[in-house]
Amino acid sequence: MLSYKLVSFDKDKDLEYIYNLKKMCYEIYVEHFYGGWDEQKQREMFDDYLKENEKNIYLIYIEDLRIGFIDGKELSNTVYEQGNICISPKFRGKGIGTIILKDIIKKHKDKEIYLRVFKNNPAQNLYKRLGFEIIGETHSHYKMVKK
């Protein structure tokens, strides 16, 4: 079975890696729903994201290779919110995201787990396979929960 490790985010070392990977993962969806990738606006939104999530960001490593990052946080004793699961394109389709998400579900089995996904992101199929249900939507996203 594939083995990965999570390493705490180091702002000095990992900041540009995370921004560039987020851009690589989400640019196609942002362009679809919002008409383009505005670099200045995205940088401002990224700064806000960091202020809110910096303590909850972990780099994903396989052996000594940094292949992605995740973030998420407990909102209460009964609710966990999964944020990003971003995997470098050359490591996608290998089951890594599935393994990580199954581990998150197992770790938080006593909580409702919420997440948001772009409506045209195929990752929603993985979420549905693992028991997440759509409970709401915005112009661009589905809100999903696993109870």
Beta strand 112-118 pairing with 141-146: antiparallel
Q: Whole-model pTM? A: 0.93
With 0-12 / 13-18 / 19 or more C-beta atoms within 10 angstroms meaning exposed / middle / buried, residue 140 is middle
Residues 55-79 have pLDDT tens digits of 999 999 999 999 999 999 999 999 9
Task: Tell me the domain boundaries of the chain.
Answer: 5-146
With 0-12 / 13-18 / 19 or more C-beta atoms within 10 angstroms meaning exposed / middle / buried, residue 101 is buried
Give the H/E segment covering residue 52: helix 39-53
**Superfamily of 5-146 according to CATH:** Gcn5-related N-acetyltransferase (GNAT) (3.40.630.30)
Taking a C-beta distance cutoff of 8 angstroms, is the pair 109, 85 a contact? no
Residues 116-141 have pLDDT tens digits of 999 999 999 999 999 999 999 999 99
